[in-house]
Amino acid sequence: MTAFEHPSAPDLSAPTQSSSGSTWQELLPPMSAHEAAVEANRCLYCYDAPCLQACPTHIDIPTFIRKIGTGNLRGSARTILEANFLGGTCARVCPVQELCEGACVLGKDHTPIQIGRLQRYAVDHVQERGVQLFQPGTPTGKSVAVVGSGPAGISAAAELAKAGHAVTLLEKREQAGGLSTYGIVSLREPIEIAQREVQALIDLGVDVQTGRELTGKADLDILLHDHDAVFLALGLGAVPAMGVPGEEHLIDGLDFIEQAKLHPETLLYSLKTVVIGAGNTAIDAATMARRAGAEVLVVYRRTEAEMTAYRHEYEFALHEGIAFTFLTQPVEVVSHGGKVTGLKCVKMALGAPDASGRPRPQPVPGSEFILDCDQVISAIGQEKPDLAKLLGLELEGGYIKVNHDLQTSLPRVWAGGDGVRLRGSASTVMAVQDGKIAAAGIHAALGAGEVGGGKWEVGTPQTS
Amino acid sequence: MADLSINFAGIRAPNPFWLASAPPTNTGAQVIRAFEHGWGGAVWKTIGPPVLNISNRYGGLSIGGQRLLAINNVELISDRPIEVNLREIAEVKRLFPDRALIVSAMVDADPLAWREIVMRIEDTGADGIELNYGCPQGMSERGMGAAVGQVPEMCELNTYWVTSVTKLLVIVKLTPNVTHIVDPAHAALKGGAHALSLINTINSVMSVDLDTLQITPNIGGRGTHGGYAGPAVKPIALNMLSELMTDAEVLRSGVPICGMGGIVTWRDAAEFLLLGAGAVQVCTAAMHYGYRIVEDMIDGLSNWMDDKGFASVGDVVGRSLPQLSTFGQLDLSYQAVARIDPDKCIQCNLCYVACNDTAHQCIDLTTPGGLRVDPGFDPRVNGKAVADTRPMPVVREADCVGCALCANVCPVDHCITMVSVPSGRESVTWDELSARQPAVTQQWGAMEAYREDVGIEIH
């Protein structure tokens, strides 16, 4: 059996269209009213609940679920979106097994409450109907520029607008939403969901300007001249180069996901695809390649134990019929006539622990072999934000250095999201919380503390 | 295998599960199907004077997604021609001679009317007649049903008009829509009843539709009160059964009681038997799930009786009656405290909030190291691991009054148990205390002195 053969590869059907027109429907169907009611009624309504604590944005989960149970869906959505403006995105992309659902008291013996799907049910209810839950705050006369319209930027912009500040949101790409728009596979989040959140921001009076890129210190100085504060939600860069011969044939994993989401018709026809890396982006890219019809093999230089993808993502990939080979390091992309024909790899063995504390994989001499394939996708992480250095920001481990309130080394400049994620895992929900923390810091610094009242205590426990 | 057969005031049945007089016993075809499923008896849907029914007869009570925790009905007695009913009753009895077949009847308060219908029922070969003095809707406005059951003199008179003209077994079905259930029971006994049954349905307005603002059930834009039944009424029925089974006059009469009201499973039925019912009747549960539920009722009761060593239904009937008491005879010195099993606790902390907000503030949240902590968390910390360091509720037993609220809100079976602890006080009841030291039960000063004397501390 070759590495590609899979004993129980599922029957792959042709891409399906969602009702909204985007290719590939969401993996999980929306809950029906009955399903939501039954699930909501199963929730114990814990006091000082662990799910609420486990959520990085501390959504009052028992309260929003109870409101679904009582038929107060508007109130439920408000409870969610007050704590997390991107509740619709997080309901879909959060690793709930590691967060709220992982902490559910019913998880020990039974099945945890499906918090993510209930959250999606409540938020979709209001957003599909265009219900306006929030209004801009009383104008403070202060102005804030937010750079980057990913989850951190949207979250900060929304909180600042609700507090009455004039907010300008700059996005270098043609569409706002950042990774929600471009980097989350449509199986998890169709583009319409991200666009709804951008629209909600516009409805709050935020001036969303796309096609506006911050390129250097001069641009930042202009922003600081025009605004009272700046929040940088720059995200991370492209997938780094591997430094192997044939590198030019590698497809960037994030580019691949974007293509699969926005222009699936332009995907290359591939019979056999190799994906390099074993993080969540690698799994997503592999999934889309698999769904597009290819046999897919993921190669990783360490072992299953060191994979950075969540366990549930790995299991999901296996169910999709994606094969994995571990302790395998690519050394050359083999091509013929400009077309990829294979990936040359070397076998690895684990050695002494490296700087990350994980055993260092070392090549086994003479173990080179070639994996036949016609497409190679690289998803081995993202470059640190280059721009940060150009802006004159102090760095820490390559990430933007920030203090407890997410203030950078430059006056009146805050930063958040993946670009500051030196510790902890980069995720949408952490970025949303960064947006809240930074907005609270900016609000306080602008001397408008009385506008939002106690509301600006970020993450104040809501049940005590 | 326990013997489930019963002899209820002379009527034999293979098991104590009878279908109550209601829609499930409307026609011969239905009762035949029910008997084929194994029901031990059936009380035919009430026959009597002509009626016309309306549309939208039922309203249901749903709580937390659970349907028909109670049902409210505005249906009347049988609207089928009386001749058809009588013919089918005779046919069913002929096909199933081993089952109890009782005919429920209701007529105007007129001895001739009663005499006529009783004679016709006798001709069917049915085992008995149940006098419907209970229906609170539709018929009571015409002077029948609950209108009879609520007036003891009427109850006695109507019963007498029946018992004086027939040799059939006469069961009087009591309405719960009274202040004191023993009064109509006494009246029925004076009228010569051979058995009693209770409870009929309770007066109710089911609900108001929040979209239309209409009363439910909505009958062409209007609503009215109806009879309330189903699981939610069981404790009311058990209380009324208990009142009769501890009443000296009822006990002296020796008449058996057929219990009903919210019986859904064999477990519910066993509770009625333990409190003295000689047979039970079921309606709402059958209307919810069909006749097939009787299979588990028979099987479950039989298995439980085997486990408990009860050879026959007679061994079960009234077994828990000795424990029934009045408040004045309860031991004031009995002390229990709540104990939480840390291995079973899932840390939902519902006990904590219930005790803290609405009981006696005697549950603490404590860290694994035993430190008392307040609710709340560090907003900078997240992830599923927060569950690992979650504080555990612990009862401060010295302050626990033993109210048992926590044990009732706990979602985990056998996690919180009420443990009997020595109070260090001599056993005494309120009645004894009132007789021995009247001042203590009448004056606060004396009460406080008494408490101090015996060591009762109120927090």
Q: What is the pLDDT of residues A26-82, one digit of tens each?
A: 888 999 999 999 999 999 999 999 999 999 999 999 999 999 999 999 999 999 999
pLDDT in tens, B383-406: 999 999 899 999 999 999 999 999
Per-residue pLDDT band at A24 (split at 50, 70, 90)? low
Per-residue model confidence (pLDDT) at position A461: 38
Element counts in chain A: helices (H) and strands (E):
17, 16
Phi-psi region of B101 (alpha: psi -120 to 50; beta: other; left: phi over 0): beta
Residue with structure tokens 């009246």? B187
State yes or no: pLDDT of A16 exceeds 90. Answer: no
Query: What does the pLDDT read at residue A451?
Result: 31
The distance of A408 to chain B (nearest Cα, Å) reads 19
The whole-number average pLDDT for the span A334-348 is 96
Judged by DSSP in three states, A336 sits in: strand
pTM here is 0.90
- Chain A hits for B353, CB-CB cut-off 8 Å, are 47-48
Tens-place pLDDT, residues B207-256: 999 999 999 999 999 999 999 999 999 999 999 999 999 999 999 999 99
The domain limits of chain B are 6-320, 327-425, 428-459
What is the per-residue pLDDT for A18?
46
Q: A41 touching B, CB under 8 A?
A: yes
* Interface-testing mutation among A46, A101, A404, with chain B (most B C-beta atoms within 10 A): A46
For residue A260, the SS3 value is helix
Q: Bridge-partner residues for A346, per DSSP?
A: A329
**Cα of A34 to nearest chain B Cα, Å:** 9
C-beta separation of A284 from A258 below 8 A = no
Considering only alpha carbons, which residue of chain B is nearest residue A37?
B65
Tokens linked to A42: 């199963």
CATH architecture classification, A247-378? 3-Layer(bba) Sandwich (3.50)
Residues paired with B188 in a beta bridge: none
3-state secondary structure chain B: CCECCEEECCEEECCCEEECCCHHHCCHHHHHHHHHHCCCEEEEEEECCCCCCCCCCEEEEEECCEEEEEEEECCCCCCCCHHHHHHHHHHHHHHCCCCEEEEEECCCCCHHHHHHHHHHHHCCCCCEEEEECCCCCCCHHHCCCHHHHCCHHHHHHHHHHHHCCCCCEEEEECCCCCCCCHHHHHHHHHCCCCEEEECCCEEECCEECCCCCCEECCECCECCCEEEECHHHHHHHHHHHHHHHCCHHHHHHCCCEEEECCCCCHHHHHHHHHCCCCEEEECHHHHHHCHHHHHHHHHHHHHHHHHHCCCEHHHHCCCCHHHCCCHHHCECCCEEEEEECCCCCCCCCHHHHHHHHHCCCCEEEECCCCCEECCCCCCCCCCHHHHHHCCEEEECHHHCCCCCHHHHHCCCCCCEEEEEECCCCCCCEHHHHHHHCHHHHCCHHHHHHHHHHHCCCCC
For B435, other C-beta atoms within 10 Å of its C-beta total: 10
Mean pLDDT of A292-308: 93
Q: What region does B261 belong to: left with phi over 0, alpha with psi -120 to 50, or beta?
A: left
User: How far is it, in rounded angstroms, from Cα B280 to Cα A360?
Assistant: 75
CB nearest to B379's CB, from A44, A98, A461: A461
Contact by Cβ (8 Å): A264, A300: no
CB–CB contact B375 A458 (8 Å): no
For the segment B346-375, the average pLDDT, to the nearest whole number, is 95
Residue A87 near residue A59 (C-beta atoms within 8 A): yes
pLDDT exceeds 90 at position A351: no
**A33-128 maps to which CATH number?**
1.10.1060.10
Please state which of the ranges A200-209, A453-462, B344-353, B424-433 shows the lowest mean pLDDT.
Answer: A453-462
Contact B377/A44, CB-based, under 8 Å? no
- Whether B383 has its CB under 8 Å from any CB of chain A: the answer is yes
Report yes or no: A454 at the B interface, CB cutoff 8 Å: no
> Strand A207-210 to strand A166-171: parallel, antiparallel, or no bridges (unpaired)?
parallel
Cα(B215)–Cα(A104) distance, rounded to whole angstroms? Answer: 40
Q: Does B290 touch chain A (CB under 8 A)?
A: no
Q: Pick B376's closest partner by Cβ from A44, A48, A105.
A: A48
CB A147 within 8 A of CB A233: yes
Q: For residue range B8-66, what is the model confidence (pLDDT) as tens digits?
A: 999 999 999 999 999 999 999 999 999 999 999 999 999 999 999 999 999 999 998 89
Mean pLDDT calculated for residue range B425-449: 97
Phi, psi of B33 (to 5 degrees): -60, -40
Cβ of B375 and A47 within 8 Å? yes
If phi over 0 gives left and psi between -120 and 50 gives alpha, with beta otherwise, what is residue B277? Answer: beta
**Chain A: nearest CA to B400, how far in angstroms?**
20
Q: Give the integer Cα–Cα distance in Å for B321 and B328.
A: 17
Model pLDDT for residues B174-209, shown as the tens digit of each residue: 999 999 999 999 999 999 999 999 999 999 999 999
Query: What is the phi-psi region of residue A334: left when phi exceeds 0, alpha when psi lies from -120 to 50, beta otherwise?
Result: beta
Q: Which of B54-68, B147-161, B262-276 has the highest mean pLDDT?
A: B262-276
> Chain A contacts of B379, Cβ < 8 Å?
58, 458-461
State the sign of the Cα–Cα–Cα–Cα dihedral B101, B106, B107, B113. Answer: positive
- Closest of B284, B293, B272, B152 to residue B226, by C-alpha: B284
| Range B121-129 average pLDDT | 98
Minimal-distance CA residue of chain A relative to B210: A71
Q: Do B376 and A44 touch (CB under 8 A)?
A: no
Share of chain A above pLDDT 90, in %: 78
Name the region of A275 (left: φ>0; alpha: ψ -120 to 50; beta: rest): beta
Nearest Cα to B21, choosing from B381, B243, B284?
B284
A8 is written with which tokens? Answer: 């129980």
Dihedrals phi, psi of A330, to nearest 5 degrees = -65, 140
Q: What is the pLDDT of residues A184-228, one digit of tens each?
A: 998 899 999 999 999 999 999 999 999 999 999 999 999 999 999
Say whether pLDDT at A382 is over 70.
yes
- Residue A38: the pLDDT is 94
Chain A within 8 Å of B369 (Cβ-Cβ)? Answer: no
Q: Return the residue of A nearest to B409 by Cα.
A: A44
**pLDDT tens per residue, range A146-198:** 999 999 999 999 999 999 999 999 999 999 999 999 999 988 999 999 999 99
Task: Report, as residue numbers or ranges, the catalytic residues of B.
Answer: 135
What span, in angstroms and rounded, lies between the C-alpha atoms of A324 and A283?
10
For residue A35, the chain B residues in CB contact (below 8 A) are none
The mean per-residue pLDDT over the stretch A357-372 comes to 92
Residue A12's pLDDT band, with cuts at 50, 70 and 90, is very low
Superfamily grouping for domain B6-320: Aldolase class I (3.20.20.70)
Question: CB of B457 within 8 Å of any CB in chain A?
Answer: no
Residue at B265: amino acid letter: T
Q: Fold match between A33-128 and A247-378?
A: no
Report the percent of chain A where pLDDT is more than 70.
90
Give me the residue spans of the domains in chain A.
33-128, 143-237+383-456, 247-378
Residues whose CB is less than 8 angstroms from the CB of residue A134 and which lie 6 or more positions away in sequence, other chains included: A81, A158, A162, A200, A204
Residue A3 is predicted with a pLDDT of 52
DSSP-assigned states of every residue in A386-439? HHHHHTT--EETTEEP--TT-B-SSTTEEE-SGGG-SSS---HHHHHHHHHHHH
pLDDT at B427 exceeding the cut of 60: yes
Q: Are B94 and B76 in contact (CB under 8 A)?
A: no
Q: What is the pLDDT of residue B147?
A: 84
Q: Say yes or no to pLDDT of A22 above 70.
A: no
Instruction: Note whether A64 and A133 are within 8 A (CB).
Output: no
CA distance from start to end of chain A = 59
The pLDDT of residue A449 is: 46
> In angstroms, what separates the C-alpha of A301 from chain B's closest C-alpha?
28
Tell me the one-letter amino acid at A252. D
Q: Which of residues 227-246 of B touch A (CB under 8 A)?
A: none
What's the mean per-residue pLDDT of chain A?
89
Topology (CATH level 3) of domain A143-237+383-456:
FAD/NAD(P)-binding domain (3.50.50)
pLDDT-derived band at A109, boundaries 50, 70, 90: low
Can you tell me which residue has the tokens 């001036």?
Answer: A207
Nearest to A103 among B349, B374, B386 (CB): B386
With CB atoms and an 8 Å threshold, state whether A47 touches B349: yes
* Residue % of chain B over a pLDDT of 70: 100
Interface mutation target, options A38, A43, A44, chain B, most CBs of B under 10 Å: A44
What CATH number should be reported for the domain whose range is B327-425?
Answer: 3.30.70.20
Q: State both tokens at A181.
A: 């728009």
Cβ–Cβ gap B382/A99 under 8 Å: yes
Helix (H, G, I), strand (E, B) or coil at A369: strand
Q: Given this model, what pLDDT does residue A79 score? A: 98
Cβ–Cβ contact B382 with A under 8 A: yes
- Looking at CA atoms only, how far is residue A254 from chain B in angstroms? 26
- For A405, nearest residue in chain B (alpha carbons): B380
Task: Give CA separation, B29 vs B24, B33, B35, in Å.
Answer: 10, 6, 10
Helix (H, G, I), strand (E, B) or coil at A89: helix
CB contact under 8 A, B346 and A105: yes
The reply to whether residue B346 touches residue A106, judged by beta carbons under 8 angstroms, is: yes
**For the segment A440-454, what is each residue's pLDDT rounded down to a tens digit?**
999 999 985 433 333
Q: Token match 């996708």: residue?
A: A377
Q: Quick check: B211 contacting A, CB < 8 Å?
A: no
Give the span between the Cα atoms of A384 and A374, in whole angstroms. 30
